[in-house]
């Protein structure tokens, strides 16, 4: 069988999107009341749940305490039912550990940790259904959860993956595209200042194309940020209506 | 922009897995029609007055073919008559999965602007997407999707009825069920055949229709002739268990009832299975991949030496059986070979075949047999109404299928190539039969050409060295328009010489990965036929922008050495440059300048310097053991108007030839070393393996017969003994010996340095070698240019360049194309030789025996560089007493004994009894052997004519 045609001559991708179009993004904030902040986010078929506890006192090993800012603790996991084949180990494998680390780095760059010295912020993210772009969906969900928890951030952190096919950057890759031999790049952006919180790529890509690819990723991230902003405003409105009564 | 979502579920084999994918439906997919005012499209493809005059559809209409119509009738769709066609995405995807070649052809058609083919992305359109219903098969769903899309188009176009004259959409399908359902839905639907037959202006298109399965019944008799092919699943289990063997079917050239199946074993361990008889051959066609079952040992047979040609007209099944009986005559036990029968075909390798039509005896009949030019291909039954016009023409026919109750495969007419025996036609045939891609470059390819008028931009100049002030000149054969190399030589202040080889910078124009690059990679090489050139890159590049013509600024890739007067290289550097050649010379002109002591201009001085160095370089090379071999190359003098060969002469070599060659070799070796140092894993190099010692047997024996000893332990020993080999009174002996030595050699091949460890070039006695100097006509050179450009930091890499497996695959294609182009070239020379002798009548010439065979001698005629066979046994005469001796080898015919290198006299004539296979016939005149040799015919008249021509 011939491999998948990721981008047709007419400019449509496998699922009917054009190169720069994002998947449908839906989100809800404050899905749990027990936690300090929570959010549920769907980006196409990738669905993630993010929960935030804190800032609170250091728990566990106190030796990790930082005296000038808060420690961010991230844990990434995938539900056993999130992939086509049942996953044996929901967390703790190499991939999850790496992902946890990436999330931690991303949020250390975005959260104003210096406001909470000697304390800890826990961010738990679970992928409920995986269809590509897990990292970016986690970042987007966690952003909403952090906002829901009322922890000050410099800006939204918005993430998006982009791939490079036929000299064209494709925004927001789905699983089939990620696995179709595309060099993909994940980028987390603080959209207002245009600062990059994290950039990760482990595929081969020619240096000449890197700039266009980053450009495309930033545009896509800004698209994501618009949607997130709407979600936050919508949520606030609902909340204020409720409390206003 | 509306995005809505549905889910498409897919299961994959190997553990059933549920795959969920998103599927967005859009409302911004436009119809592509000129008449439409509703769609906000930027450009339209489909015309307003779509005129294909058909008696079925008298109104303007667009065609929508379904998948099977595209797959089987692509020949029809390619016809310029058919335009304004809507290709649905459903169809395009199905075609992509089912047949890669058809998909490529379809895409080429879509790219062609004049054809007005529009791709409608129906699967993502809000109104035309449908979900598979429970119990509905995938095919049924796709058929329904096609019908829904056609319905949508019909209604969509209806809204603009006022300003069109009833523009309609017509569905073409060959599926009865689909047609019925479409009719029930009120769609306009026709079978492809009905529609094509209704086209008023083009009745001949009908012949290009492929026969669909339900037509076959009427053609064939009810008698089942062949055993059923096994289903693929059973073949696979059989191959796994070892009861069947898988291999490539190779039909015999001489005997249509015999074939071998080449079974690739592990490593060197390959076997051949003999297949005999129509039943056992079981409809396999040459080059198919088949599964064979071995017969019990008692039924094994020996390959028959009988020459059998299929003369049947379709009714002679009894004769065939009789012939088969004759095959199994007494065969010695030892000569028997593993014999088997074909049980199934794993992969058909059918291509369109060239050949001629045997017009049926019955005048009104529309069914005719077609005889392919390649004897290994069976005859094909086709249906045509233009038999009378096609008779005597070379035509192309594609096979559609071979039902088990038909003696011959069924096919359809693809196109006519022209009258048999005509020059253009025969050229076309030999290109097709040697698989040389020679169609015009497609629009997609041409779109990547630079815009004319082209000029060197300041950015180009920034990155390049300006070598325009240098006195650069090019030396090429006369009439050469694709000049890819130029040279210069000047004295430096320190007394040393600076020599530069400037090669056309083709890689500047052909960027990796685009359509132009892919086309060039697939063509691999430019093919030179007598009086014709099949370009690898479009003419704008090959003869203009890349060609280093004189007195224009051209981009070049330069290799510049500092060399002292002993021809020792002191410094080598490579650079991209801009040059301005001062003169384009021919070899003869350059030679004259060098020899003319009165001339002392810059160009001449430069040439003299080059010539001097080249002589030293050559001597050094030969001292190292490089071989100088010989093969006779002939040149035809063409009539400038008719392009018929007037005269024929062997190519003359001048000093300047070797001068240019020497510097090209030097450049190639320098570049090879450089790219290998830089990219040890993925350098594209060229090697020439040393031949196995047994290859030299014939040479040693032949030399011994003249009491000359030839040493073949090393290239150097061979070169020395060839130089020493001389026989008094036989000046031509040395050349003959060199010709023989050439035949012993192996083929030089391209390879990727990461995949091989032996780099040696035997013929040139160089440890490393590549091709750098002819990027206009060889694709390997383009890759080498890219590698070198990266190595000197002038260009960037791309993934495929660094992937040794991809490179290796590319090398295989290049080697194949190279080989085929050589065959095509030889075939072209042979054809022109025939044309030449056709006009000359019978000639008497002197020649030398080159080889001695069991029943024949092979004679070389130096004057024409022509080789021919003189047979001593023929069918209709009593054969003379022939004794062949392996030692020697010698052949005794009656009293006379033939040795290698004997001088003989032969008559040459053209045998055109078989119009598809004309050949040169030779007969012996001297020595006179009663009953064998022929009397010298009177050749007075042609000889005179020849003089007049001059």
Q: Cβ of A23 and B21 within 8 Å? A: no
Give which of A143, A4, A3, A162 is closest to A74, Cα–Cα: A143
Q: Cβ of B24 and A14 within 8 Å? A: no
Sheet with strand A46-57: strands edge to edge:
A25-29, A37-43, A46-57, A119-129, A71-78
ipTM above 0.85, yes or no: yes
Q: Cβ of B21 and A15 within 8 Å? A: yes
Cis? peptide before B936, omega within 30° of 0: no
Which residues on A lie below 8 Å from B5 (Cβ)? 24
Are the C-beta atoms of B918 and B912 separated by less than 8 Å? yes
Are the C-beta atoms of B509 and B493 separated by less than 8 Å? no
Task: Nearest by CB to A206, from B20, B121, B796: name it.
Answer: B796
Dmax (CA) for chain B in angstroms is 96
Q: What pTM was estimated for this model as a whole? A: 0.70
User: DSSP 3-state assignment of B715?
Assistant: helix
Q: Cβ of B22 and A131 within 8 Å? A: yes
Q: Cβ of A8 and B89 within 8 Å? A: yes
pLDDT tens readout for residues B37-88: 888 877 888 887 766 777 777 788 888 999 988 988 888 888 888 888 999 9
State the pLDDT at residue A25.
92
Q: Cβ of A17 and B797 within 8 Å? A: no
Exposed / middle / buried, residue B931 (Cβ in 10 Å: 0-12, 13-18, 19+): exposed
> Per the structure block, which two tokens stand in for B651?
């190519």
The DSSP bridge partners found for residue B5 are B24
Average pLDDT score over chain B: 81
- Answer whether residue B399 shows pLDDT above 60: yes
Confidence of residue B668 (pLDDT cuts 50, 70, 90): very high
- Answer whether residue B949 shows pLDDT above 50: no
pLDDT tens readout for residues A90-148: 777 899 999 999 999 999 999 999 999 999 999 999 999 999 999 999 999 999 999 99
State the pLDDT at residue A73.
94
- The length of chain A is 245
Question: Which chain B residues have any C-beta within 8 angstroms of a chain A C-beta?
Answer: 3, 5, 15, 17-26, 89, 93, 96-97, 100, 103, 107, 110, 119, 121, 123-124, 513, 796-799
Q: Cβ of A23 and B797 within 8 Å? A: no
State the pLDDT at residue B947.
37
Question: pLDDT higher for B628 or B174?
Answer: B174
Q: A4, A16, A21: best mutation site toward chain B, by most B Cβ within 10 Å?
A: A16
DSSP string of B727-759?
A: -TT-TTHHHHHHHHHHHHPPPPEEEEGGG-S--
State the pLDDT at residue A70.
93
Number of independent structural domains in chain A: 1
Give whichever of A35-49, B397-411, B638-652, B721-735 has the largest mean pLDDT.
A35-49
Q: Which residue of A has its CA nearest to B795?
A: A208
DSSP string of B596-632?
A: -TT--SHHHHHHHHHHHHHHHHHHHHHHHT-------
State the pLDDT at residue B946.
39
pLDDT tens readout for residues B468-500: 998 999 998 888 888 889 999 998 889 899 999
Whose tokens are 């009656």? That residue is: B894
Residue A123 lies in a domain: yes
B118: closest CA of chain A, how far (Å): 10
Phi-psi region of B242 (alpha: psi -120 to 50; beta: other; left: phi over 0): left
Confidence of residue B334 (pLDDT cuts 50, 70, 90): low
Which residues on B lie below 8 Å from A1 (Cβ)? 97
State the pLDDT at residue B75.
84
pLDDT tens readout for residues B88-110: 999 998 998 888 888 888 988 88
Q: List, in sequence order, every beta strand (DSSP E) within A137-245.
A: 158-165, 168-171, 183-190, 195-200
Q: Which residue of A has its CA nearest to B9?
A: A84
State the pLDDT at residue B47.
81
Sheet with strand B168-172: strands edge to edge:
B117-120, B85-88, B61-65, B168-172, B188-190
Radius of gyration (C-alpha) of chain A in whole angstroms: 18
% of chain B at pLDDT higher than 70:
86
- Answer whether residue B780 shows pLDDT above 90: yes
Which residues on B lie below 8 Å from A16 (Cβ)? 23-26, 121, 123-124
Confidence of residue B326 (pLDDT cuts 50, 70, 90): low
Give whichever of A12-26, A146-160, B23-37, B758-772 has the largest mean pLDDT.
A146-160
Residue A16 lies in a domain: no
State the pLDDT at residue B941.
41
pLDDT tens readout for residues A168-211: 899 999 988 888 878 899 999 999 999 999 999 988 888 888 99
Residue A203 lies in a domain: yes
Residue A5 lies in a domain: no
Q: Cβ of A176 and B21 within 8 Å? A: yes
* Average pLDDT of span B876-905: 74
State the pLDDT at residue B834.
80
Whose tokens are 């669909």? That residue is: B212
Are the C-beta atoms of B783 and B836 separated by less than 8 Å? no
Residue A111 lies in a domain: yes
Give whichever of B265-269, B476-480, B937-941 has the largest mean pLDDT.
B476-480
- Answer whether residue B211 shows pLDDT above 80: no
Which residues on B lie below 8 Å from A14 (Cβ)? 21
Q: Which residue of B has its CA nearest to A43?
A: B22
Q: A5, A7, A10: best mutation site toward chain B, by most B Cβ within 10 Å?
A: A10
pLDDT tens readout for residues B553-564: 999 999 999 999
Burial A132-161 (b: 16+ CB within 10 A, else e): bbbbbbbbbbbbbbbbbbebebebbbbbbb
> Per the structure block, which two tokens stand in for B372?
């392919």
Give which of A37, A44, A54 is closest to A239, Cα–Cα: A37
User: DSSP 3-state assignment of B226?
Assistant: coil
Are the C-beta atoms of B90 and B429 separated by less than 8 Å? no
Q: Which residue of B has its CA nearest to A176?
A: B21
Are the C-beta atoms of B849 and B899 separated by less than 8 Å? yes
State the pLDDT at residue A179.
84
Q: Cβ of A8 and B97 within 8 Å? A: no
From A30-44, B293-307, B369-383, B759-773, the region with the lowest mean pLDDT: B293-307
% of chain A at pLDDT higher than 70:
98
Confidence of residue B218 (pLDDT cuts 50, 70, 90): very low
pLDDT tens readout for residues B560-595: 999 998 888 999 999 999 999 998 988 888 988 888
Confidence of residue A51 (pLDDT cuts 50, 70, 90): very high
Residue A9 lies in a domain: no
Question: pLDDT higher for B564 or B884?
Answer: B564
- Answer whether residue B260 shows pLDDT above 60: yes
Q: Which domain holds residue A154?
A: 23-241
Whose tokens are 């994959």? That residue is: B12
Q: Cβ of A206 and B798 within 8 Å? A: yes
What's the CATH code of the domain at A91?
3.30.230.70
Q: Cβ of B25 and A84 within 8 Å? A: no
Question: pLDDT higher for B73 or A232?
Answer: A232
DSSP string of B440-451?
A: PPPHHHHTTSPP
Angle in degrees, CA A225, A226, A230, rounded to 5: 110
Q: Cβ of B24 and A5 within 8 Å? A: no
State the pLDDT at residue A98.
93
Give whichever of B158-167, B259-268, B371-380, B693-702 has the largest mean pLDDT.
B371-380
Burial B455-491 (b: 16+ CB within 10 A, else e): eeeeeeeeebeebeebbbbbbbeeeeebbbbbbbbee
Question: Which chain A residues have any C-beta within 8 angstroms of a chain B C-beta?
Answer: 1-2, 5, 8-10, 12, 14-17, 23-24, 44-45, 84-85, 131, 167, 174, 176, 204, 206-208
Q: Cβ of B17 and A10 within 8 Å? A: no
Residue A10 lies in a domain: no
pLDDT tens readout for residues B808-867: 889 999 999 999 998 888 888 888 888 887 777 777 888 888 877 777 788 888 777 777
Residue A204 lies in a domain: yes
Q: Cβ of A24 and B5 within 8 Å? A: yes
């Amino acid at each position: 069988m011939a491999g998948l045609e990721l981008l047709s001559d007419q400019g449509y991708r496998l699922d009917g999107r054009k190169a720069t179009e994002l998947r449908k993004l839906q989100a809800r904030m404050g899905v749990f009341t027990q936690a300090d902040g929570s959010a549920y986010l769907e980006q196409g078929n990738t669905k993630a749940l993010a929960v935030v506890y804190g800032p609170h006192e250091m728990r566990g090993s106190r030796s990790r305490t930082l005296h000038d800012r808060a420690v961010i603790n991230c844990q990434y996991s995938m539900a056993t039912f999130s992939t086509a084949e049942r996953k044996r180990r929901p967390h703790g494998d190499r991939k999850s550990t790496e992902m946890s680390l990436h999330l931690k780095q991303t949020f250390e760059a975005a959260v104003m940790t210096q406001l909470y010295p000697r304390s800890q912020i826990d961010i738990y993210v679970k992928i409920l259904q995986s269809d590509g772009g897990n990292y970016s969906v986690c970042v987007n969900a966690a952003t909403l959860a952090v906002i829901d928890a009322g922890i000050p951030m410099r800006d939204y952190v918005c993430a998006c993956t982009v791939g490079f096919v036929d000299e064209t950057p494709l925004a927001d890759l789905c699983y089939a595209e990620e696995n179709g031999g595309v060099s993909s790049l994940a980028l987390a952006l603080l959209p207002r200042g245009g600062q990059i919180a994290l950039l990760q790529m482990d595929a081969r890509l020619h240096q000449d194309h890197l700039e266009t690819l980053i450009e495309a990723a930033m545009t896509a991230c800004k698209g994501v940020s618009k949607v997130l902003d709407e979600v936050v405003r919508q949520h606030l409105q609902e909340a204020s209506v409720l409390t206003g009564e | 922009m509306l995005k809505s979502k549905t889910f498409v579920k897919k299961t994959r084999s190997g553990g059933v897995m549920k795959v969920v994918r998103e599927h967005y439906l859009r409302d911004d997919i436009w119809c592509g029609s000129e008449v439409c005012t509703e769609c906000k499209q930027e450009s339209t493809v489909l015309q307003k007055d779509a005129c294909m005059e058909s008696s079925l559809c008298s109104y303007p209409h667009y065609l929508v073919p379904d998948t099977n119509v595209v797959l089987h009738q692509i020949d029809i769709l390619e016809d310029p008559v058919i335009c304004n066609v809507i290709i649905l995405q459903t169809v395009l995807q199905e075609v992509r999965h089912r047949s890669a070649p058809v998909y490529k052809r379809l895409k080429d058609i879509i790219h062609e602007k004049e054809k007005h083919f529009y791709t409608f992305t129906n699967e993502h359109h809000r109104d035309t997407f449908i979900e598979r219903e429970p119990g509905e098969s995938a095919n049924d769903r796709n058929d329904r999707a096609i019908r829904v899309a056609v319905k949508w188009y019909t209604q969509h176009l209806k809204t603009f009825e006022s300003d069109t004259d009833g523009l309609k959409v017509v569905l073409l399908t060959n599926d009865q069920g689909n047609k019925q359902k479409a009719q029930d839905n009120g769609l306009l639907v026709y079978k492809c055949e009905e529609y094509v037959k209704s086209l008023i202006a083009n009745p001949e298109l009908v012949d290009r229709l492929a026969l669909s399965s339900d037509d076959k019944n009427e053609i064939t008799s009810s008698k089942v002739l062949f055993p059923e092919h096994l289903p693929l699943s059973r073949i696979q289990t059989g191959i796994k268990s070892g009861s069947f063997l898988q291999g490539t079917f190779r039909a015999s050239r001489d005997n249509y009832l015999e074939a071998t199946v080449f079974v690739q074993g592990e490593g060197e361990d390959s076997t051949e299975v003999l297949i005999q008889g129509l039943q056992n051959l079981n409809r396999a066609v040459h080059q198919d991949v088949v599964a064979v079952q071995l017969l019990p040992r008692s039924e094994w047979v020996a390959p028959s030496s009988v020459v059998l040609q299929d003369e049947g007209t379709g009714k002679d099944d009894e004769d065939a059986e009789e012939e088969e009986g004759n095959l199994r005559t007494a065969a010695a036990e030892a000569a028997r070979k593993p014999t088997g029968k074909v049980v199934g075909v794993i992969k058909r390798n059918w291509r369109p075949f060239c050949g001629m039509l045997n017009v049926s005896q019955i005048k009104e009949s529309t069914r005719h047999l077609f005889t392919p030019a390649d004897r290994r291909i069976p005859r094909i039954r086709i249906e045509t109404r233009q038999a009378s016009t096609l008779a005597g023409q070379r035509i192309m026919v594609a096979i559609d299928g071979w039902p088990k109750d038909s003696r011959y495969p069924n096919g359809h007419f693809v196109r006519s190539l022209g009258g048999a025996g005509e020059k253009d036609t025969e050229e076309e045939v030999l290109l097709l039969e040697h698989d040389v891609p020679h169609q015009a470059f497609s629009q997609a390819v041409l779109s990547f050409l630079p815009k004319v008028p082209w000029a060197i931009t300041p950015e180009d100049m920034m990155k390049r060295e300006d070598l325009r002030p240098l006195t650069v000149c090019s030396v090429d054969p006369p009439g050469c328009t694709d000049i890819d190399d130029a040279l210069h030589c000047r004295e430096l202040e320190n007394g040393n010489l600076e020599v530069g080889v400037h090669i056309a910078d083709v890689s500047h124009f052909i960027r990796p990965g685009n359509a132009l690059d892919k086309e060039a990679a697939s063509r691999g090489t430019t093919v030179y036929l007598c009086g014709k050139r099949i370009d690898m890159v479009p003419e704008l590049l090959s003869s203009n922008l890349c060609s280093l013509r004189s007195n224009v600024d051209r981009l070049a890739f330069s290799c510049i050495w500092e060399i002292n007067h002993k021809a020792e290289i002191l410094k080598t550097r490579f650079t991209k440059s801009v040059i301005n050649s001062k003169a384009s010379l021919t070899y003869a002109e350059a030679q004259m300048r060098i020899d003319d002591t009165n001339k002392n201009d810059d160009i001449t001085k430069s040439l003299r310097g080059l010539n001097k160095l080249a002589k030293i370089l050559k001597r050094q090379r030969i001292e190292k053991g490089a071989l100088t071999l010989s093969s006779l190359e002939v040149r035809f003098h063409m009539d400038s108007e008719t392009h018929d060969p007037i005269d024929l002469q062997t190519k003359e070599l001048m000093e300047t030839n070797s001068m240019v060659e020497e510097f090209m070799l030097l450049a190639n070796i320098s570049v090879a070393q450089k790219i290998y140092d830089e990219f040890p894993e993925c350098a594209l190099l060229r090697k020439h393996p040393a031949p196995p010692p047994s290859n030299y047997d014939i040479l040693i024996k032949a030399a011994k017969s003249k009491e000359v000893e030839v040493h073949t332990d090393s290239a150097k020993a061979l070169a020395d003994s060839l130089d020493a080999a001389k026989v008094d009174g036989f000046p031509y002996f040395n050349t003959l010996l060199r010709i023989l030595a050439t035949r012993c050699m192996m083929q030089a091949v391209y390879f990727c340095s990461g995949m091989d460890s032996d780099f040696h070039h035997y013929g040139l006695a160089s440890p490393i070698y590549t091709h750098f100097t002819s990027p206009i006509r060889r694709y390997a050179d383009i890759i080498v240019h890219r590698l070198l450009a990266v190595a000197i930091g002038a260009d960037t890499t791309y993934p495929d360049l660094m992937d040794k497996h991809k490179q290796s695959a590319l090398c295989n294609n290049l080697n194949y194309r190279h080989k085929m182009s050589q065959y095509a070239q030889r075939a072209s020379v042979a054809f022109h030789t025939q044309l030449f002798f056709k006009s000359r009548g019978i000639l008497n010439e002197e020649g030398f025996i080159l080889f001695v065979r069991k029943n024949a001698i092979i004679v070389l005629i130096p004057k024409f560089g022509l080789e021919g066979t003189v047979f001593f046994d023929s069918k209709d005469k009593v054969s003379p007493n022939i004794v062949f001796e392996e030692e020697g080898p010698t052949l005794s015919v009656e009293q006379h004994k033939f040795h290698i290198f004997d001088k003989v006299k032969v008559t040459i004539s053209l045998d055109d009894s078989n119009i598809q296979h004309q050949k040169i016939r030779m007969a012996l005149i001297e020595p006179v052997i009663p009953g064998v040799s022929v009397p010298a015919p009177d050749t007075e008249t042609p000889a005179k004519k020849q003089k007049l021509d001059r």
